[in-house]
Amino acid sequence: MTEIYLIRHGETEWNAQGRFQGRLDSALTDTGVRQAEAIGRRLAELNLSFDAFVSSPLGRTRQTAAIISGSTNLPAAQYDDRLAEVSLGSWDGLTHIDIDAQWPGLLDGSTPFDWFFRSPDGEGYDAAFQRSECWLREQHGVTVAVSHGLVSRIIRGAYSGLAKTEALSLPVPQDVIWRLSDGRIKPISVR
């Protein structure tokens, strides 16, 4: 049996500013720290025996994973590059306003979700999907995974067999644990 508890990192300074991080980092805000603490408490309440605890290697997920580990019986997380956020290339660290100013018209006709993949030197959807799907196929037992907003959408979309547009429109709250089991995805609120 495979069961995955998928978590998005807590709110970061750049999340609060509307700045897109991609492969860059900013620290968790006080809210982000509280979100990670609440997720750790909720995981402890579930009283499960976990086989693996993995995280993206990026700083915001490492910080979130360390906070979760301090609230549970989980050991320190192992890092897996396949859980890292989609790279926006030269758009990492920018806002929509910055992107529009430096690449006029490039976002014209994009949706709130597919614009990520319009960066001229960023990671493409197919590559991000392939690494997410590969990670999913390798999971066995009960796994806790700390990742990012866009990658979480792609992982859940791949797990559910959703089309790209459906997957990219999935919600990505920072105070929910997504339980992937038996072909279904169930949100576990930590509020």
Dihedral (CA of 68, 69, 70, 74) sign: positive
Query: What gap in Å lies between CA 96 and CA 187, rounded to an integer?
Result: 29
Residue 85 annotated as catalytic: yes
- Which three-class secondary structure state does DSSP give residue 157? helix
Identify the helix (H) or strand (E) that includes residue 5: strand 2-8
Choose the catalytic residue: 9, 11, 123, 148. Answer: 9
Given 11, 85, 123, 148, the catalytic residue: 85
Q: Which residues, other chains included, contact 54 with Cβ-Cβ below 8 Å and sequence gap of 6+?
A: 77, 78, 79, 80, 83, 143, 144, 145, 146
Residue 159: name the closest of 126, 176, 142, 135 by CA.
135
Q: Are 91 and 118 a contacting pair, CB within 8 Å?
A: no
- Residues with a known catalytic role: 9, 85
